Amino acid sequence: MLRAGGFSLQMTAHAYAIIDAYVYGFVLQEASLPFDGADSANAVADSIMEGFAAGDYPHMVEFATQHVQQPGYHCGGQFEFGLDLILDALAVRGEAGERAPTDQAERSGPAAAPP
């Protein structure tokens, strides 16, 4: 699909690796979560948040208490958003016909002449 969409072999390799890593990581995270429902999720979140002093990590506390612990929040619901971000970025690269660098020299620009 990537090659048929105009991706070079290098961009296909990068796109496949990124999509694979994202999906695998998300599935692994979901499978590793230590709870089954909203009540146990809040209990786990509360115990984790006890380790964070509100003064030291105010944005983490805000995120956890005002977003994650709110009714209806589900971590799995974030999957589609993240995948869309990745696919949109890849589409821009593919439409631009960009080629991913294949080695360090290409990433850093022209190599300096040897001494």
Q: List the chain pLDDT tens, one digit each, 115 residues.
A: 888 888 889 999 999 999 999 999 999 988 877 666 556 666 766 777 777 766 788 888 888 888 877 788 777 778 999 999 999 999 888 777 665 555 444 455 544 444 4
Domain extent for 83 = 9-97
CB atoms within 10 A of CB 13: 14
Helical residues (DSSP H) of the chain, grouped into ranges: 9-32, 38-49, 58-63, 78-95, 104-108
pTM for this model (two decimals): 0.64
Q: Determine, yes or no, domain membership for 107.
A: no
Overall domain count for the chain: 1
For residues 27, 28, 29 and 35, what is the CA-based torsion angle, rounded to 10 degrees? 90
